[in-house]
Structure 1
Amino acid sequence: MTMRLIRDGEPAGVGVTPDELHVDVITLAQQDAGFALSPGELTRLESYERELHVALVGRGSVTDPVHAGDLAHMAYRALAHLNERASSGKHFVLTDALYLADEPITGPTAPAAPAAP
């Protein structure tokens, strides 16, 4: 599991922003499941990471909405990659954090996949 999303009113460091969570999912998929990004995607990811790291954890956001959408799209591709490699009967679910589950999680905490950039 990753750190969970920060909730309204919580101090920095208690959780992460959606953009920080997306970077965590991509990094996990790269390190543990061999998820590969193109050279251009890697360059963009590094740029987004630099932008996020100038803020306190739980306060970092990618300021350009198009770039945030690109980051989210990469994260959902990473999630699909993780699920292709999950143990039989298991799957990863991205809600307020990344979870390994036996059954699908549905309801208001299950986010819709972002549209392709």
Structure 2
Amino acid sequence: MQPKQIVQQWVDVFNEGNADKIATFYADNAVNHQVANEPVVGKAAIHKMFTDEFASAEMVCIVENIFQDGDWAILEWKDPIGLRGCGFFQIENGLILFQRGYWDKLSFLKAHNLPIPT
């Protein structure tokens, strides 16, 4: 399966809000670095990150574009409340090895009435 197809499936599972299922997309030694946060290293830690995030806010990813370049897929997304972002996914052996995401954390926190760090 091509990286672009894997990311489309990842989006479908992300929108289910199921941390157990989304963790299956990641390699054991994967890194997920949402640039507004510290990198999360390892499949178990990524699973915990999604468990916590899905519990704190309802998140929906609407695909605007998915591009592919070799073993990389690039996702441009929006959500129903107008937030936008971009994610880069490096795929190896059918699993996400590295993910980096760019989005506006402050707008996200405000939109979901979550605490703003000081």
Q: TM-score, normalised by structure 2?
A: 0.27
Q: By percentage of residues, which structure has more strand?
A: 2
Higher RCO (CA < 8 A, seq sep 6+): 1
Q: TM-score, normalised by structure 1?
A: 0.27
